[in-house]
Structure 1
């Protein structure tokens, strides 16, 4: 009796394994037999350097099976034209949202100035503050119980959101970093110290040019 019972258990296990193997084989064969949809997507027409403003001739459309296209790759040429590369793109590569800037991002000339990035979490009064590339602001060091100390005037060079994408202004964006430029090395060092203490305050509205 015990032997027959064990045999039944073994047979049941074999049946279940057989069903599982059959289903797996069916799904595998189905993936080979069923046609995969072809899609048309943009890729770099040639190798492009960082900061290139993408034009029509920089992009070519290719037809490829949809399952071979990265999920977050840009799917249309219209999303690319007029935007700027934040990194190099090699010929045949796909374009991704976090590697291009928004249309019309201002290019700020900061020759002979010192550039530094400030994490948003280190700005004490950022909530509700509107920042825009190219505008000027005044930064203060604001320590608890101490009178605010002016750090100097800065120019907003670029704004980067949480997905590492460059944006034009802070409206509607989840900013991570504000890149600014200052005139002197002393201002830069003071700004670094203030950021380390998470004691930076930006006054608004922007200082007029």
Structure 2
């Protein structure tokens, strides 16, 4: 995605929801003391650099302050194949216009931060690679459900929607869930039931 599209995306997201405080300025401060070069090189080599702006891709849990953790985190190198898989899926979803403008607000989380933030035991945020997104106003989350229903097994895609409206996407297992974290509350299951009636 080129720079002007990224700027429009950030503008659309900020009008739809409270934008995350972990912006480029805070990221620049953080990178002064943290090594990101090998991770960036991996993304470049995989032709995935820029699918998600790096400062968003490295955001840890949104509760990082309350948990006294770092605002950003580089996933362990052992998880980089999962990062590539999830980014390839996000790239496809964007290219096919299934996923409109979005902002990543949480990606890799260290296990201690995940526990403090109330994340699920064994969360894909800690063991593989997952992203939580805010969609721009006017986005159609049902398009994601239709994709998940048709191609989710092939992509090993996890798709969830939290009560806050955030969307979770990973490639760590074919499953879906909703507000009470069960498959029955998934907006995708409700869509499937509506379509069969």
- TM-score bracket relative to the smaller structure: under 0.3
1 or 2, which has the higher helix percentage? 2
1 or 2, which has the higher strand percentage? 1
- If the length of structure 1 is used for normalisation, what is the TM-score? 0.24
- If the length of structure 2 is used for normalisation, what is the TM-score? 0.25
Q: Looking at CA atoms only, which structure, 1 or 2, has the larger radius of gyration?
A: 1
